[in-house]
Amino acid sequence: MIRTVIVDDEVRSREAMREMLKLYCTGVEVVGEGEDVQSALEVILQQSPDLVLLDIKMPDGTGFDLIRKLMPVSFKVIFVTAYEEYAMQAFRYNAIDYLSKPIDPIELQNAIDKVTNTIESVNINDRLKQLLNGYMKPQIAENRRLVLKTADTIHIVDIDTIVRCESDRNYTIFYLDDREKILISKSLKEFSDTLEAHDFFRVHHSHLINLKYLAKFKRDELMCVLKDNTEIPVATRKRDELLKILSTI
């Protein structure tokens, strides 16, 4: 049996994956699930699976963040992705297995069959290192600008002028250094990967801050204070990671 962990932030996606594995993939045993980087890290360390079916975008980071925390890995990885074609090419180049959302049962079956046939072979760590260190670096314009589209306006914003972003259900509020606010009809999750490559840090499920504007961190209160005196809560699970980042500044 291939002991498998499913990692996806959406309950329905995990349920659908579990059901497809049951119907189409004999010899697969689901031994655990994770809904974010932290819970996935815990279940993988506890269960020592043979295979991880790994979503890329999660509330507290990405599947790549999880792999970095676990390297070197002792399991095979099949990434589950909605990335654009350039990213697909990166997976192909490094011979890393991936599935495109929405998942096709036959493609899932083929991917599992491939894992079954290669479970003891090539060193997955070499391929993962190439993927993490090169081809999956965020594709960011040299001019460090972000295009934000509202119903009636297209804003071209210098990333350095973004003080923080706040989640409002399926919307994101951008707070700029001139006190302008821009409401975008996309979730915070859709911006976090790009902005975290520019010294932003997601201190809380609902808050992403530009570390350039961080004035102080109240450790006892788990509160960030920005230069404009705005106070932003820090999730308990983010405390140590934030302290580690601040120690390198």
160 contacts 144 by C-beta, under 8 angstroms: yes
Q: What is the distance between the alpha carbons of residues 81 and 78, in angstroms, rounded to a whole number?
A: 10
* Confidence check: pLDDT of 137 > 50: no
Residues 69-79: b if buried by 16+ CB within 10 A, e if exposed: ebeeeebbbbb
Task: Give residue limits of the domains in the chain.
Answer: 2-135, 145-246
Question: What is the overall mean pLDDT for the chain?
Answer: 84
**Best CATH choice for the domain 145-246 from the list 3.40.630.30, 1.10.3720.10, 3.30.465.10, 2.40.50.1020:** 2.40.50.1020
* pLDDT tens digits, one per residue of 55-100: 888 878 888 888 888 878 888 888 887 655 445 554 554 446 778 8
* pLDDT tens digits, one per residue of 172-223: 999 999 999 999 998 898 888 778 878 899 999 999 999 999 999 999 999 9
Dig out the tokens for 35 from the structure: 């809904």
Q: What is the distance between the alpha carbons of residues 18 and 11, in angstroms, rounded to a whole number?
A: 11
What Rg, from alpha-carbon coordinates, does the chain have? 20
CATH fold of 2-135 reads: Rossmann fold (3.40.50)
Longest CA span, the chain: 58
Three-state DSSP class for 91? helix
Residue 95: the pLDDT is 46
